[in-house]
Chains A and B, each alone.
Chain A
């Protein structure tokens, strides 16, 4: 009897702790999501919003090549950025964790995350100046005689990728570094004692143990990159449109909220699929 009362009291306490977060999630995620899903089933007729409750916008997305291409552009850019960022961040995190004396590691990490302190927009415009025809890179290459004509770097997909990588390498460095410093050094010593060479230690011990850090960083990179509007808008020169840019066009120029909602839901589905693919490493799966 007493234990049942105690259980009830604890249940109430637990609900008391959970309820504010639950209300917050319902108010600012679940309800807006339901509204957005409902609007995606409406139709824009002239400047009127008609609640038609059909899938016309979803069908239009798959039928209109320029809309569908937006998704592929986003995916291509995102996968490229994630891959390059992982390849660059891993050695950087390794150097900070293993090669820099512990007393300087904090300073090294601060240096690594310095770009986070600058405004995202300012950073993108700065890259535009660096990559421009008469920017720092082209001027340097021409000055040392490596090229005769300036390279077309700005207003390209490469410019967008560079802008993204600059930002996300820092994010990935942090997540991988956190994983590396938590790894007991005995594991590597044990592997070496058993005859593994340097590469084998890395491949069979270090890499599998740091995979969660890589995947967490890669997932965050994927989510932030695929939903970003600013970098492709500033650095891409509108030479191709990523999905967030097309969503902004629907809102800003056409006030076509149903199509914008449809594209946003599609973007959310893609992010959800990425989450499911990474869930094992994000340690959120049910076991």
Chain B
């Protein structure tokens, strides 16, 4: 008599076969995927699903996001990509000309943008336009200054830039790992305007950078800097600002920031359509969404970091608590006491980067 016995191996084969058939069946079922894709090279604040999902839903599109920090890194990614790989790019406002010179940005029709709704100080036509043509538009701005834990340091001390290279808080300082704003801040501490910063100033700046490194505990990118301040690993963050503390305002009310008496650096990020984009219309719609009051409010309070929206009408979409964390009502004074990032030429940029690596190796 035969008895049918299903051995372990037989069962495994059967299960394997069933799984293969199931996968095959799934492969031929029409998927609910978006019909189009948009590739955006962005800063980390754009990776918040709360910001991107409404656009994806409205236009039935999948937005592929690649995050980067620092224009050099962004341009490096583009140089390693093929033409047409990217549709949209977020870029430092002061570097738009650099990107236009490289021929990677497309002209944006001026009437397609809500320029009249932007805070006048951040329209930055000199930066976003070349030869009368608009290539980018400011979407968000804020300040690189000094963030600190007000329960652990004397807030009065933070009003003087020289505190960052003094010994008073040695070992309790983190430095944001982006050479341009921090070198700009050190320059301001030495009474050098960012627009005037040149190669002759580098020896003095290096000396202060090295002193600052000696007093610091770590030099890190956005997340590690924010984590270090939030967890109490450090008490001061050089290069920080509302973009570091505002997002933590509910959980960490002890964190604060200040623009020192010497001034602070103003960062402004612009958004642009790539020249070789194969979907320029969709790319422009994305830019328009980001610049809309709804998009601006979501971008301003993005999970990665908060910052002031460029569009003044976004205020209607923000809560009082959010506006308070962003210090909406203090912007006039801040704008007056802040300068844009330095815009070095290639040689000065190389010198700055060498100085930065030298500082890291101290």
A interface footprint on B323-362 (CB within 8 Å = 1, 0 otherwise): 0000000000000000000000010001001100110110
* B354 near A241: Cβ-Cβ < 8 Å: no
Tell me the residues in window 211-269 of chain B with beta carbons closer than 8 Å to chain A beta carbons: 217-220, 224, 231-233
Highest count of chain B CB atoms <10 Å: which of A238, A239, A254:
A238
Task: Tell me the complex Cα distance, A284–B307, Å.
Answer: 59
Tell me the residues in window 26-56 of chain A with beta carbons closer than 8 Å to chain B beta carbons: 45-47
Q: Using C-beta atoms within 8 Å of the partner chain, give the interface range for chain B.
A: 20 to 34
Chain B residues in 8 Å Cβ range of A155: 217-218, 233
* A253 near B361: Cβ-Cβ < 8 Å: no
Task: Tell me the complex Cα distance, A154–B234, Å.
Answer: 11
Chain A residues in 8 Å Cβ range of B171: 152
* A239 near B219: Cβ-Cβ < 8 Å: yes
Chain B residues in 8 Å Cβ range of A234: 224
The secondary-structure label for the interface of chain A is loop
* B79 near A255: Cβ-Cβ < 8 Å: yes
Chain A residues in 8 Å Cβ range of B360: 66, 238-241
> A133-B232, A134-B232 in contact; A246/B73 too (CB < 8 A)?
no
B160 smallest CB distance to A (angstroms): 25
**B190 on interface, CB distance cutoff 8 Å:** no
* B218 near A239: Cβ-Cβ < 8 Å: yes
Chain A residues in 8 Å Cβ range of B350: 254
Task: Tell me the complex Cα distance, A70–B361, Å.
Answer: 8
* B76 near A255: Cβ-Cβ < 8 Å: yes
**B22 on interface, CB distance cutoff 8 Å:** no
**B70 on interface, CB distance cutoff 8 Å:** yes
Tell me the residues in window 192-222 of chain A with beta carbons closer than 8 Å to chain B beta carbons: none
**A251 on interface, CB distance cutoff 8 Å:** yes
A252, closest chain B residue (CB): B73
From A132, A154, A241, A254, B361 is in contact (CB under 8 Å) with A241
A interface footprint on B48-81 (CB within 8 Å = 1, 0 otherwise): 0000000000000000000000101101100100
A142 smallest CB distance to B (angstroms): 13
A237 smallest CB distance to B (angstroms): 4
Chain B residues in 8 Å Cβ range of A45: 346
Q: Using C-beta atoms within 8 Å of the partner chain, give the interface range for chain A.
A: 20 to 34
Chain B residues in 8 Å Cβ range of A47: 75, 79, 102, 346
**B294 on interface, CB distance cutoff 8 Å:** no
* A255 near B72: Cβ-Cβ < 8 Å: yes
* A69 near B232: Cβ-Cβ < 8 Å: no
**B95 on interface, CB distance cutoff 8 Å:** no
**A64 on interface, CB distance cutoff 8 Å:** yes
**B177 on interface, CB distance cutoff 8 Å:** yes
* A254 near B219: Cβ-Cβ < 8 Å: no
Chain B residues in 8 Å Cβ range of A246: 357
* A253 near B72: Cβ-Cβ < 8 Å: yes
Task: Tell me the complex Cα distance, A134–B76, Å.
Answer: 38
Task: Tell me the complex Cα distance, A45–B350, Å.
Answer: 10
* A254 near B72: Cβ-Cβ < 8 Å: yes
Chain A residues in 8 Å Cβ range of B231: 132-134
Chain B residues in 8 Å Cβ range of A274: none
**A95 on interface, CB distance cutoff 8 Å:** no
Chain B residues in 8 Å Cβ range of A154: 233
> A47-B346, A134-B231, A134-B232 in contact; A252/B72 too (CB < 8 A)?
yes
Q: Supply 29 A–B pairs (Cβ within 8 Å), ascending by A.
A: A47-B75, A47-B79, A64-B354, A65-B361, A69-B361, A70-B361, A73-B361, A132-B233, A133-B231, A133-B232, A133-B233, A134-B232, A155-B218, A155-B233, A237-B219, A238-B177, A238-B218, A238-B220, A238-B360, A239-B217, A239-B360, A241-B360, A241-B361, A246-B357, A249-B353, A252-B70, A253-B70, A255-B72, A255-B79
Give chain A's interface residues, CB within 8 Å of chain B: 45-47, 64-67, 69-70, 73, 132-134, 152, 154-155, 234, 237-241, 246, 249, 251-255
Taking A47-B75, A239-B219, A240-B361 as known contacts, 4 extra A-B pairs with beta carbons closer than 8 A to each other, sorted by chain A number, are A69-B361, A234-B224, A238-B220, A246-B357
